[in-house]
Chains A and B, each alone.
Chain A
Amino acid sequence: GAGVSQSPRYKVAKRGQDVALRCDPISGHVSLFWYQQALGQGPEFLTYFQNEAQLDKSGLPSDRFFAERPEGSVSTLKIQRTQQEDSAVYLCASSFLHSANYGYTFGSGTRLTVV
């Protein structure tokens, strides 16, 4: 596709429910990143993939968060047993090369509200 696509756009989950957020990066982009943006904050790094390999997951806040990119294209961020503090916008971005010199292309984000 022309851009990075994320779905769903909005998700309301009851506390304790599991959710799965999908990211479809630009075709051919090697690197894929997930960020979490809480209200009033900047995007905070969660994890990144180079092709199918998850090279850094240091930003995942707890073991309830899990991300995968099994075939090196589409990625899913799963949150188990959601808590209210998980309410945030989850942004996905992809980049053609994993390099400081390349900008990221972001999706529109998934706004998760846990009630």
Chain B
Amino acid sequence: ILNVEQSPQSLHVQEGDSTNFTCSFPSSNFYALHWYRWETAKSPEALFVMTLNGDEKKKGRISATLNTKEGYSYLYIKGSQPEDSATYLCANYNTDKLIFGTGTRLQVFP
């Protein structure tokens, strides 16, 4: 199993701040990189599926970029809101399954 690493492990920001976090993954034999948001007491929810080097995807105030050659993806949140508080997981598709990182736990204070 090839490791997926996320940083930081946790993040506390003030409402209105913009923030970003990193996912690094093995760059060899790349197929896809997935981002999920997991709010407490709910199910993990798919945010983005990214497959192409240089790809950038956006969903409201959240966007993600992908660099498959160097093996990293950034997730950006613009103007954080308390409802953005969640754990953000990235996962690398490898040998027919998703391999997850340990997540970045984001807390947004009003």
Q: Which of B38-46, B60-68, B71-79 contacts A (4 or more CB under 8 A)?
A: B38-46
Chain A 80-110 interface mask (CB, 8 Å, partner B; 1/0) = 0000000000010100001011111111110
Q: Which of A14-22, A33-41, A61-69 contacts B (4 or more CB under 8 A)?
A: A33-41
Size class of the contact patch on chain A = 20 to 34
Within 8 Å by CB of A101, from B32, B45, B101, B102, lies B32
Bound-state Cα–Cα, A101 to B34, Å: 9
Bound-state Cα–Cα, A91 to B32, Å: 21
Bound-state Cα–Cα, A100 to B98, Å: 8
- On chain A, the residues within 8 Å of B95 by CB distance are 56
In this complex, how many residues of chain B approach chain A with their Cβ under 8 Å: the count is 26
Known: A45-B1, A45-B99. 6 other contacts (CB 8 A): A40-B102, A42-B101, A91-B44, A93-B44, A100-B51, A103-B49
Chosen A-B contacts, 28 in total, with CB atoms closer than 8 Å, are: A3-B43, A4-B43, A33-B97, A33-B98, A35-B100, A40-B102, A41-B102, A42-B6, A42-B100, A43-B44, A43-B100, A45-B97, A45-B98, A45-B99, A48-B96, A56-B95, A91-B44, A100-B49, A100-B51, A100-B93, A101-B49, A102-B49, A103-B34, A103-B36, A103-B46, A104-B46, A108-B42, A108-B43
Q: Which positions in B face A, CB cutoff 8 Å?
A: 1, 4, 6, 31-32, 34, 36, 41-46, 49, 51, 89, 93, 95-103
